[in-house]
Amino acid sequence: MALIKIESGDWLKNASIVGIIKVLKNKRKSNENIEIASNYIQFDSAMLDGFEEAYFETIFEEYGKRGSWNKLVGYIDAIEGINKQAITFENIEKFNKIIDDVKKIIKSSSYKSAYLLLEDGAWIEGKESELKKINCKKKDNPEDFKDSVLIQLNLMVDIINWFNRKDVKRVILAKNVMYDYIQPFWNNVSILLKTNNKNDMYKLYKSDFIDSTINYINSDKDTYKNYCFTCDNKIKKFNKPDAFDLTWLVKTGVDMNRKSSHFWKMNGDAYICPVCNLLYSCLPLGFKTINNKGIFINFNHNINVLCQANITKMNEEITFSQLENLSYYNVIDSMDHMYTKNIENEFENIQVVKIDGNNSLRPYSFSILSPNIMKVLYYNKKNLEYLIKIRVKITEKYYINLYNEVINRIYEGKNLFDLINKLLVMFLDNKFNNIKAIKNIFRINNFLLGGKAMRIDEINKFEKYGYELRKSYYKKNVESKLIGITYRLINSIKTKDSSKFMDTIINSYMYLGKSIPNGISLALSDSDRLQNIGYAFILGLQGEINEKLKEGEGSNE
């Protein structure tokens, strides 16, 4: 066997490198090695044995839980639950909804084409007509439908068990990911050629991408006179199976049979070698995709950092907006793996590539991450990390994720004072109890303010003032007054009324017979000072303060 070396390049190639690394790591055996250098990867061509299985398996692992197959087999728990419970109108209604959903899934075109590839595929084809909803109305006695319910429940269990078989799962999931996660990136070739929709996807992928690569690797290329458009590998001639055009990649390649005027003397030479053809087939795995929309961060400091920047753990509930925000966090996280004297220089070159599979004219869009935003994220990494999993209930059915709320405001160029205010009010109303999260957001916001920010020792000082006032009210056993004081302070800050803020402060200290600490009067100078000093004071007033400050020590951390 021979070594296959692939060097990094533009975003298209880099995304494909991330994808092929995922596949190779998935199928790697203990004695197989992938060399990942700063600007290239290298592996033995023996690793292409069984590559087609690993290719689909890798996509299953990344996206399988979001597909219809997973939804279908996941109904087994609900079915077994209904089977153990009494026959009620509510359970029948719930079961009818499952029947509707399952019927819709198993009679879809992609599933029907998958049945043709299975030895007993004919068994399932008529089952949707056997699934019948239970026609029970509220005026009826549900127990009268017991026999019909049991028949349908048993049929549903048989159907789910059939789909849960390893051989069935292998084929159905391949069909799922073909149309949901591969098709936005490439089409009209191999498994996505319409005339091939009844053929085995694994055999097609092997024939069209792997076999040609193995034959090319083992060939004698000394006499070849042409070169790959992407990697400069030698090519025998510009036609299959020796070379391939890029028209099968959505909106990236040129059809040289129709657009030869783009090339010198009308001779199209934008052909790639079989190795690059295989590489680009992994493009879908370089992106993170949800509902036909995907994102790739072309942070090409080196290949390890590139891979790290594009690893995002996904669940069934994550939205594309949340995925995008987590992807930016991964960029910051990946910087921990970099060795550079001036980290801020790396903020200048981070390209973001997005794909919208619903936009047939311009599916790809490109942008550069703002260096200023990257600085905010990088220097507040720990504060942001703390917020990632914190969800806040706003209404009975509406929740917000604090990390996403913060990131969205940062990217829109907004400060976080409105969010801090909202969370503090919810804290006082016992609707949100994580005061530390509010403090983290306050610290991030202070960084956002740039020249108007307070020094950390100033923040600590005003938090300590609030905390000491809190202790004094507790010593006097009138801590119940703190809620009213805090409400008035919050409202005065929200309306940027420094006079009302100071009136509340003066009355609070006069009640205790204490003098007002030095510096609080600075809140009168401008609205930014009012908000900074005010919220720092309130955080201390609610008991959120550095442990060293509780002991009377200063802190400049």
pLDDT at 511: 94
Residue percentage of the chain with pLDDT more than 90 = 64
Length of the chain: 557
What's at 374, amino acid-wise? M
pLDDT at 16: 97
pLDDT tens digits, 31-42: 678 999 999 999
pLDDT of 408 higher than 70: yes
What's at 507, amino acid-wise? N
Mean pLDDT of 417-430: 95
* Phi and psi, residue 519, nearest 5°: 100, -25
pLDDT at 555: 34
Q: Which band of pLDDT confidence, cut at 50, 70 and 90, is reported for residue 551? A: very low
Share the mean pLDDT of the chain. Answer: 88
Q: Regarding predicted confidence, which is higher, 126 or 190?
A: 190
Q: Quickly count: other Cβ atoms within 10 Å of residue 239's Cβ.
A: 11
pLDDT at 254: 53
Closest CA to 356 of 309, 300, 290: 290
Token digits of residue 229: 């458009």
pLDDT tens digits, 64-112: 788 899 999 999 999 999 988 999 999 999 999 999 999 999 999 889 9
* C-beta of residue 359 within 8 angstroms of C-beta of residue 339: no
Q: Which residues lie closer than 8 Å to 290 by C-beta, 6 or more apart? A: 66, 314, 318, 319, 320, 323
Mean pLDDT of 289-307: 91
Mean pLDDT of 438-447: 94
pLDDT at 32: 75
3-state class of 318 per DSSP? coil
* Phi and psi, residue 58, nearest 5°: -65, -40
Q: Regarding predicted confidence, which is higher, 268 or 362?
A: 362
pLDDT tens digits, 229-272: 899 899 998 888 888 988 899 887 555 455 544 444 445 567 89
pLDDT of 549 higher than 90: no
C-alpha to C-alpha distances, 284 to 63, 279, 347, 547, nearest whole angstrom: 11, 11, 26, 49
Which of 25-29, 153-157, 299-303: highest mean pLDDT? 153-157
* C-beta of residue 506 within 8 angstroms of C-beta of residue 517: no
pLDDT of 320 higher than 50: yes
Place of tokens 């089952």: 127
Asked whether the CA dihedral 422, 423, 424, 427 is positive or negative, the reply is positive
Distance CA 402, CA 423 (A): 10
pLDDT at 343: 66
pLDDT of 554 higher than 70: no
Closest CA to 209 of 284, 306, 287, 115: 284
Checking 334-339 for CB contacts under 8 A at 24+ apart, the result is 334/299, 334/305, 334/308, 334/309, 335/305, 335/378, 337/304, 337/305, 337/308, 338/301, 338/302, 338/305
Mean pLDDT of 532-539: 93
* C-beta of residue 17 within 8 angstroms of C-beta of residue 306: yes
* C-beta of residue 42 within 8 angstroms of C-beta of residue 151: no
